[in-house]
Amino acid sequence: LLALSAAHGLTYFGTVSRPTEVTDWTGDTGRVESFFDPDHLPELERRLGLAANGFTPDHAVVLVCGLTATIRGVLVRLIDRAFIPHAKVIRDALGIPPEATASLFYELYDATPVIDVDSPAVIEPLRARIQALRSTRPPARP
């Protein structure tokens, strides 16, 4: 994956969440969603060669794979950076217009969304946060 990423101008960070089970692993460790914790984002930006607070949809597109909880964790964290999920059911629940450019992609194994789109307790805070960010950002790139 590293060679393919480099050959195509992509950046790939693989991580192992249980490093004690993979004794020869020398890469990143920990859960994928931890890359996007606010206290870890400066290190991610540094590794990507981005300015402080530069990890936004203007400079990055994210493809995450893993368990549903991992995908959900990444989605919730990246809402605060104005990343827009590609899944229509989630975009609709968050009030994101169809013409907005998706910047967060993940595997869709079944029809059940990675977040509970029918729960106001889940959706309303996320919708408020992404709508507030979208209102202060320039229009999405084509």
Tens digits of residue pLDDT in 56-74: 999 999 998 888 889 999 9
DSSP string of 66-121? S-HHHHHHHHHHHHTTT--BS-HHHHHHHT--TTSPP-EEE---SSS-SS-TT-HH
pLDDT at 90 over 50: yes
Question: 0.85 exceeded by the pTM?
Answer: no
pLDDT at 140 over 80: no
| Cβ 28 vs Cβ 11: under 8 Å | no
The helix/strand count (H/E) of the chain reads as 5, 4
